[in-house]
A = this chain, B = another copy of it.
Amino acid sequence: MIEACFEKTKQFPAGQEIVARCTRPEAVHVILSGYAGCLKSLPDRQRQIVAYFLPGDTCNLNVAILGHMDHSIIALSPCEVAYFSTSVLEELLSRQALARALLWTTLVDEGVSREWLLNMGQRSSERRMAHLFCELRYRLAAVDLVEDESFSFPLTQVQLADTLGITAVHANRMLQQLRALGLIELKRGQLKILDLGDLENFCDFDSRYLHLELRSPRQDMHHRT
């Protein structure tokens, strides 16, 4: 029923803005393929990627309710994006079960961003990176995009560094480190986790914060698309 509302889809090349900061877009976006990111930046060109949006994720629910964006959404890799207008969202909200599903989604997102805060505040950059990879593994597996513990990771090291709050040079070294420890392989935008248990132990990963135990509304959306 939701996909019936998609009005159009669009392709974005890597690096392009999907939704600009401070604007008031009149559509909600759903990522169909590729990686998108929620970007916040400071005046002196420091930038922090504060969330990833993977296939199936809805990415600017908030504008419809809050009125304006305090961040921008950019394509981290080439992306295919579907839209539905905020008037459709209004319609969804008026239906009991869907209002609950929307609330569920935002609460999960909030939980994820708090886990990211823990990650930023307490883990070394090496473990922080490992933790991010574990998270991606589970989120992508939930939408069936992991095969043989391997999945697409098309970001540049600069983008990865901006996600982790470190410099690109340091991101590179930590990546080498994880490779040297035999935890991952990464080449040509394809990430392979060599031993998921080891990687999880290495960074104290516990997938429960992702709330994948229940079928989420977003998974429904994706599977039916």
A: residues with CB less than 8 A from B are 38, 40-43, 46-48, 50-51, 61-62, 65-68, 70-71, 93-94, 96, 99-100, 102-104, 106-111, 113-118, 120-123, 162, 164-165, 204, 208-209, 211, 214
Q: Are B209 and A104 in contact (CB under 8 A)?
A: no
- Could you say which of A43, A94, A103, A164 has the most chain B C-beta atoms within 10 Å of its C-beta? A103
Q: Please, which residues of chain B bring their CB within 8 A of the CB of A71?
A: 114
- Considering the chains assembled together, what is the distance between the CA atoms of A49 and B113 in angstroms? 13
Q: Please, which residues of chain B bring their CB within 8 A of the CB of A41?
A: 118
Distance between A100 CB and nearest chain B CB, rounded to angstroms:
6
Partner pick for A110 among B94, B113, B165, B204, CB 8 A cutoff: B113
- Given A38-B114, A104-B66, A121 and B209 contact (CB-CB distance below 8 Å): no
Majority secondary structure, A binding face: helix
A-B interface, 4 closest residue pairs, ranked by CB to CB distance from nearest: A121-B165, A120-B120, A48-B121, A99-B99
Distance between A162 CB and nearest chain B CB, rounded to angstroms:
8
- Considering the chains assembled together, what is the distance between the CA atoms of A70 and B213 in angstroms? 13
Q: Are A100 and B93 in contact (CB under 8 A)?
A: yes
- Considering the chains assembled together, what is the distance between the CA atoms of A140 and B121 in angstroms? 25
Distance between A143 CB and nearest chain B CB, rounded to angstroms:
19
11 contacts between A and B (CB under 8 A): A48-B122, A51-B114, A62-B111, A67-B214, A94-B96, A96-B99, A99-B99, A103-B103, A110-B110, A110-B113, A121-B162
Q: Please, which residues of chain B bring their CB within 8 A of the CB of A204?
A: 42-43
Q: Please, which residues of chain B bring their CB within 8 A of the CB of A114?
A: 38, 40, 50-51, 71, 113
